[in-house]
Amino acid sequence: MLVLLNMAMTADGKVATVNRAVTSFGSPRDLAHLYELRATADAILCGARTVEETGATLGNGGDRYTQRRLKQRLQPYPVRVVVSGGGSLSSTIPLWGTDTSPVVVLTSERASASDLERLRRHATEVWVSPGAEVDFPEALRRLRSTYGVGRVVAEGGSTLNDTLFRARLIDELHVTICPFMAGGRNAPTIAEGEGWPRLSHASRFRLLRRVQRNGELFLVYGIQSNR
């Protein structure tokens, strides 16, 4: 299983403004980069807040990308996977209005019975990990066995990213650096959460590619070592 993470950030490392009103700083080129990545993946993985705040339906980007997917023998649309450990994912998001591909919600036993029932009305499947945490390695195995998923594009946000980094599940990191300064002590960065106390604990990546386009820098890192 290959997991790629794609994020756009400001020059000062923020992925949203401090009030979360702006969550995307990228240009149309950056959006095309996202669709190009999606066009290589069997599934998209997103956190609940990101799907709610952006109203994303996690589609494939349109006909042009459908053709690319079919050429690569992928399903026309990626499987959409949303993480909501507490089951808080809203019932009113645009995602529920699209039935282009299965939607799988990953949750845990923290979710109440009523939220599980509610989510089951909307999603294709709701997978409940035993205990309080979502078991990502198990979810990835299940995505492979149920939907034949071999390649996932993760798209944030910061809470989900932190868990994926800590579980050492990210193989490739795509970062677009956008020419803005957002500032704000509490504005989120790529990965929030506990972090690592020492650099020796951190996963090490190596820079694979860098492309500059109209003031934006597109960086691709591959995992080098997970300690």
Residue nearer to ligand NAP on the CB measure, 43 or 66: 43
The Cα 45–Cα 50 span in angstroms is 10
Rounded to a whole number of angstroms, the minimum distance from the CB of residue 191 to ligand NAP is 9
Residue nearer to ligand NAP on the CB measure, 13 or 222: 13
Rounded to a whole number of angstroms, the minimum distance from the CB of residue 58 to ligand NAP is 12
* Inter-residue contact 73 to 93 (CB < 8 Å): no
Rounded to a whole number of angstroms, the minimum distance from the CB of residue 71 to ligand NAP is 27
β pairing state of 125-129 and 2-10: unpaired
Residues in contact with ligand NAP by CB under 6 A are 7-8, 15-16, 20, 23-24, 47-50, 53-54, 83-89, 134, 155-160, 163, 188, 192
Residue nearer to ligand NAP on the CB measure, 75 or 93: 93
Rounded to a whole number of angstroms, the minimum distance from the CB of residue 73 to ligand NAP is 28
Half-sphere exposure (CA, 13 Å, Cβ side) for 215?
Answer: 10
The helix/strand count (H/E) of the chain reads as: 6, 9
Outline where 75-170 has alpha helix (H): 113-122, 136-147, 158-166
The Cα 34–Cα 28 span in angstroms is 10
Residue nearer to ligand NAP on the CB measure, 149 or 182: 182
Residue nearer to ligand NAP on the CB measure, 100 or 163: 163
Rounded to a whole number of angstroms, the minimum distance from the CB of residue 204 to ligand NAP is 22
Q: Which of 54, 60, 97, 103 is nearest to 80 (CA)?
A: 103
